[in-house]
C-alpha cells in the first residue's frame, strides 16, 4: 500500500467524513422532513437511530474500507473471498453505485438552488425581504426549468472537477478551514433567527417527544434519514475508510462524526423553525423550507447581502464536500478496473446530470407527473434511496463486517474488548433487526415491490459482474 493513498493526518479522515456527512442532508433535508413528519417524535426516532444503528454501521463501513483498501465492490468481494464467503456480497457495492447515481442526481439540483440564492443575495435583491416575497422568490425559481438546469450543471461540473483531479488533495485543506467556518456562521444565523423569530415554538416543536404523533411512514423516514445524513449505505464512508490510517479509533471517529453531524442538523433546525413560526409560515411545506426561511434570517441583518451570500457559499461548500463523496465510490469502481479517472468522471458525471434533469422537471413542467401516489420523480428517487436502498445497503455491510470477518480481524480493527463487544452486538443484531422491523411494518406495497425489484436487479448485475471477472481471470492465465 503506497503511503500517498492514506490521509496525511489522523484528523483528516474525521474531517473528510464530517465533510461528507454534513451537507444538504443537515441544512435542507432534516428541517424539511422534520416539518413534514410533525417534529419532536420524528427527531427522537432519528436520534435513536443515529446512535444505535448509524454509529455501528458507520464503523462497519469504515472498517471494511480500511481493511480492504479498495473501493466498495472490489473491497467487499475481496474480503468475502478471503473469508470463504460468497463473492456475491459485492452486490452491496453495486447497489451502492446505483443509489449514488440517484442521490447525486437530485442532490446536485438542490445544491443548485443555493447557487441561485448566492447570486440573489450578492446582488442585494433579498435585502429586507418579507415572507411573501421570499415565497414568491422560491416559486419563481422552481418555475424556471432553464435556471434550475444551469445551476444544476454548474454544481455537477464543480463536483466532477474535484473528482476528476483526485479527491483527497484539495479537499484536505478545504475541510480544515471551511467546515469550522460553516459551524460558526450557522451559530450566528441561529442566534439571529432566535432573536427575530419564535425560538420557543421552534424548541418545543423539535423537542416535544410524543411518539403517538408519528406515522409509520415517519418512523421509516427518520430511520432512512439517519443513513442519509451520516452518508451510510452506499460506499462514501467505505471509500474514505480505505484511505484511513490503521491506528485511528473507529469508535471515537464514528461517535465524533455522529455528534458533529447531529449538532449541525439540530442547530439548523432550531434556526429555521424559529423563522418559520415567527413569520407564520407552514412547517410542512416541503423541500423549499430552507430557502424560504433563510432570506428572512438575513433580511434585517446589517450587511445582509454580504452575509447572506457568504452563508450560501458555505452551504455550497458543505454540499460539495458531500457530493464528491457520493461520486467517488462510483468512479473508484471503474478506475480500479484500469479506466482513466478523467474519462470515467466525465461519463459518470454526464449520466448523473441527465438523471438530475428528471428532478429539475419535477419542480415545474412535470410537477403533475406522479406515477406512484402523489410522488413526483424527485420524490420517488428520494424515497427509494433513503427509505429502501440506503438502509438495506448499510445493514448488509454491517452484517458482513460483523459476521464474516474473523475474530482476529475484528480485534485488529477494534482493539478495545468492551467497545468491540458492544459493536458486535449492535452490528450483528440491533442494526439489522431494527431496520428489518421498521421496514416490514412501515413499507407500503409499492415500496416493498421496489425493494424486491432492487434486490433482484442488483443480484442479476452482480452475477453478470462475477461471470465477467471470472472470464478476465481465465484469460490472464
Ligand atoms: N450525508 C450527506 C448530507 O447529509 C449526503 C451524502 C454524502 C450521502 N454521501 C452520501 C447520503 C452517501 C447518502 C449516502 O448532505
Residue appearing with cell numbers 429539475: 360
Rounded Cα distance, 138 and 49, in Å: 32
Closest CA to 219 of 37, 446, 436, 380: 37
Specify the residue with its C-alpha closest to ligand 1, atom 2: 21
Reported as a single tens digit per residue, the pLDDT across 409-421 is: 999 999 999 999 9
Tens of pLDDT, residue by residue over 75-106, are: 999 999 999 998 889 999 999 999 999 999 99
Q: Are 24 and 263 in contact (CB under 8 A)?
A: no
In the prediction, which pLDDT does 460 show? 84
Q: How far apart are the first and last CA of the chain?
A: 25
Whether the per-residue pLDDT at 454 is higher than 80: the answer is: no
Q: Does residue 25 have its Cβ closer than 6 Å to ligand 1?
A: yes
pLDDT at 318: 92
Read off the pLDDT band of 11 (50, 70, 90).
confident
Q: Are 73 and 90 in contact (CB under 8 A)?
A: yes
Question: Residue 230 Cα, ligand 1 centroid: separation in angstroms?
Answer: 6
In the prediction, which pLDDT does 155 show?
A: 98
User: What's the DSSP call for residue 144?
Assistant: -
Residue 224 CA to ligand 1 centre (angstroms): 11
Taking the C-alpha atoms of residue 458 and residue 96, their distance in angstroms, rounded to an integer, is 10
Q: What is the pLDDT of residue 235?
A: 95
Of 10-19, 238-247, 286-295, which one has max mean pLDDT?
Answer: 286-295
Q: Could you tell me if the CB of 317 is within 6 A of ligand 1?
A: no
- What is the CA(323)–ligand 1 centre distance, in A? 7
Cα 389 to middle of ligand 1, angstroms:
13
The yes-or-no verdict on residue 473 having pLDDT over 80 is: no
Q: For residue 3, what pLDDT band results from cuts at 50, 70 and 90?
A: very low
pLDDT of residue 442: 82
Does the beta carbon of 26 lie inside 6 Å of ligand 1? Answer: yes
Q: How far apart are CA 67 and CA 73, in angstroms?
A: 14
pLDDT band at 216 (very low <50, low <70, confident <90, very high): confident
Of 400, 59, 464, the closest CA to residue 237 belongs to: 59
- pLDDT score at 8: 58
The pLDDT-based confidence of 373 (bands split at 50, 70, 90) is confident
The helix, strand and coil proportions of the chain, stated in percent and rounded to the nearest 5, come to 80, 0, 20
CA distances from 347 to 46, 84, 333 (A): 36, 35, 13
- Give residue-wise pLDDT tens across range 27-51: 999 999 999 999 999 999 999 999 9
| Under 8 Å between Cβ of 36 and 286 | yes
Does 20 sit in the ligand 1 pocket, CB within 6 Å? yes
State if residue 65 touches ligand 1 by the CB under 6 angstroms criterion: no
CA 190 – ligand 1 centroid, Å: 23
The chain-wide mean pLDDT, for the chain, equals 91
Neighbours of 470 (CB within 10 A): 11
Specify the pTM. Answer: 0.93
Name the band, by pLDDT with cuts 50, 70 and 90, for residue 1.
very low
Band (pLDDT 50/70/90 cuts) for residue 13 is confident
- What are the tens digits of pLDDT across the range 128-139? 999 999 999 999
- The answer to whether the CB of 24 is under 6 A from ligand 1 is yes
Mean pLDDT of 341-361: 97
Instruction: Compute the distance from residue 14 Cα to the ligand 1 centre, in Å.
Output: 15
Please tell me the predicted confidence (pLDDT) of residue 166.
73
The predicted pLDDT at position 172 comes to 65
In this prediction, what percent of the chain has a pLDDT beyond 70?
95
* 447, pLDDT greater than 50: yes
Tell whether the model's pLDDT for residue 238 goes beyond 80. Answer: yes
User: Binning pLDDT at 50, 70 and 90, where does residue 169 land?
Assistant: low
If one residue of 103, 186, 396 were mutated to test the ligand 1 pocket, choosing by the most ligand atoms within 8 A of its CB, it would be 103
At residue 297 the predicted structure's pLDDT band, cuts being 50, 70 and 90, is confident
**Is 229 a pocket residue for ligand 1 (Cβ < 6 Å)?**
yes
Amino acid at each position: 500500500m503506497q503511503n500517498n493513498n492514506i490521509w496525511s493526518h489522523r484528523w483528516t479522515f474525521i474531517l473528510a467524513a464530517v465533510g461528507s456527512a454534513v451537507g444538504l442532508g443537515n441544512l435542507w433535508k432534516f428541517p424539511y422532513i422534520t416539518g413534514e413528519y410533525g417534529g419532536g417524535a420524528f427527531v427522537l426516532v432519528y436520534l435513536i437511530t443515529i446512535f444505535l444503528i448509524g454509529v455501528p454501521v458507520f464503523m462497519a463501513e469504515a472498517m471494511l474500507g480500511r481493511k480492504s483498501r479498495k473501493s466498495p465492490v472490489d473491497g467487499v468481494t475481496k474480503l468475502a473471498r478471503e473469508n470463504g464467503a460468497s463473492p456475491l456480497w459485492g452486490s452491496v457495492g453495486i447497489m451502492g453505485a446505483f443509489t449514488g447515481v440517484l442521490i447525486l442526481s437530485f442532490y446536485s439540483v438542490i445544491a443548485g438552488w443555493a447557487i441561485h440564492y448566492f447570486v440573489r443575495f450578492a446582488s442585494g435583491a433579498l435585502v429586507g425581504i418579507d415572507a411573501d416575497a421570499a415565497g414568491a422568490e422560491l416559486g419563481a425559481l422552481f418555475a424556471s426549468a432553464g435556471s434550475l438546469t444551469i445551476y444544476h450543471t454548474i454544481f455537477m461540473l464543480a463536483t466532477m472537477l474535484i473528482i476528476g483531479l483526485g479527491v483527497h488533495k484539495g479537499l484536505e485543506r478545504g475541510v480544515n478551514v471551511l467546515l469550522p467556518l460553516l459551524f460558526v456562521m450557522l451559530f450566528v444565523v441561529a442566534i439571529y433567527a432566535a432573536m427575530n423569530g419564535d425560538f420557543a415554538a421552534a424548541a418545543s416543536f423539535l423537542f416535544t417527544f410524543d411518539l403517538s404523533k408519528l406515522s409509520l411512514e415517519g418512523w421509516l423516514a427518520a430511520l432512512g434519514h439517519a443513513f442519509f445524513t451520516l452518508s451510510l449505505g452506499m460506499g462514501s464512508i467505505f471509500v474514505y475508510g480505505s484511505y484511513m490510517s490503521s491506528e485511528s479509533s473507529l469508535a471515537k471517529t464514528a461517535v465524533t462524526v455522529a455528534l458533529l453531524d447531529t449538532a449541525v442538523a439540530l442547530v439548523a433546525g432550531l434556526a429555521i423553525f424559529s423563522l418559520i413560526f415567527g413569520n407564520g409560515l407552514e412547517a410542512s411545506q416541503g423541500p423549499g423550507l430552507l430557502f424560504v426561511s433563510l432570506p428572512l434570517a438575513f433580511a434585517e441583518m446589517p450587511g445582509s447581502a454580504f452575509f447572506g451570500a457568504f452563508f450560501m457559499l458555505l452551504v455550497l461548500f458543505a454540499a460539495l464536500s458531500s457530493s464528491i463523496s457520493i461520486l467517488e465510490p462510483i468512479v473508484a469502481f471503474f478506475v480500479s478496473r484500469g479506466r482513466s479517472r478523467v474519462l470515467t468522471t466525465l461519463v459518470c458525471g454526464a449520466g448523473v446530470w441527465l438523471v438530475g434533469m428528471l428532478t429539475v422537471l419535477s419542480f415545474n413542467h412535470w410537477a403533475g407527473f406522479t406515477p406512484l401516489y402523489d410522488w413526483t420523480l424527485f420524490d420517488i428517487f428520494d424515497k427509494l434511496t433513503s427509505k429502501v436502498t440506503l438502509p438495506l445497503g448499510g445493514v448488509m455491510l454491517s452484517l458482513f463486517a460483523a459476521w464474516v470477518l474473523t475474530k482476529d480481524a475484528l480485534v485488529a480493527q477494534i482493539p478495545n474488548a468492551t467497545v468491540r463487544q458492544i459493536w458486535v452486538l449492535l452490528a450483528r443484531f440491533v442494526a439489522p433487526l431494527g431496520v428489518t422491523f421498521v421496514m416490514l411494518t412501515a413499507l407500503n406495497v409499492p415500496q416493498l415491490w421496489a425493494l424486491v425489484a432492487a434486490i433482484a436487479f442488483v443480484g442479476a448485475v452482480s452475477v453478470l459482474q462475477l461471470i465477467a471477472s471470472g472470464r478476465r481471470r481465465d484469460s490472464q492465465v
